[in-house]
């Protein structure tokens, strides 16, 4: 029998990930932008560290939004991490498109809406597979 997800996750569960993502992303981004030339390898490192930094910044925001607007079934810790990671990937994608001078405001809104739609459909799929805990006789 599966164990049900924790209904009340505290931010202490996410604190190590938050600290590691912020320090690794911010430190790596600073090192890449200050001490390297924009060749192919450092450019990919820039996007990698940008994803880490933005995911770290978005982690408390995703936690607070899921705590403020609870759902049934309650979200698991992996959902909050996934939402923060999607925010990081979206920002890195927008930065990549901006570097190539492809980004426009309507395109940025469209990409953000697509990411929100993907998260909504994933949550809908999870809700469809959720089985409430059966009461013990």
> Domain limits of the chain?
11-128
Is residue 133 very low, low, confident or very high in pLDDT (cuts 50, 70, 90)? confident
Residue entry with tokens 């190539």: 100
| Range in 2-6, 41-45, 77-81, 83-87 the model is least confident about | 2-6
Q: What is the pLDDT of residues 33-67, one digit of tens each?
A: 999 998 999 999 999 999 999 999 999 999 999 99
Enter the pTM of the model.
0.86
Q: How far apart are CA 78 and CA 122, in angstroms?
A: 12
Nearest-5° Cα angle at 109, 53 to 66: 55
Buried b (16+ CB within 10 A) or exposed e, 13-52: ebeebbeebbeebeebbeebeeeeeeeeeeeebbbbbbbb
């Amino acid at each position: 029998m599966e164990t049900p997800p924790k209904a009340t996750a505290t931010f202490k569960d996410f604190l190590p990930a938050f600290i590691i993502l912020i320090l690794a992303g911010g430190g790596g981004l600073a090192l890449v932008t200050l001490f390297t030339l924009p060749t192919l390898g450092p450019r990919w490192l820039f996007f990698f560290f940008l994803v880490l930094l933005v995911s770290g910044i978005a982690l408390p925001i995703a936690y607070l939004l899921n705590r403020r607007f609870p759902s049934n079934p309650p979200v698991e810790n992996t959902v909050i991490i996934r939402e923060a990671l999607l925010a990081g990937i979206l920002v890195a994608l927008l930065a990549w498109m901006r570097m190539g001078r492809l980004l426009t405001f309507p395109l940025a809104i469209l990409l953000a809406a697509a990411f929100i739609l993907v998260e909504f459909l994933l949550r809908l799929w999870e809700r469809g597979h959720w089985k409430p805990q059966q009461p013990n006789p």
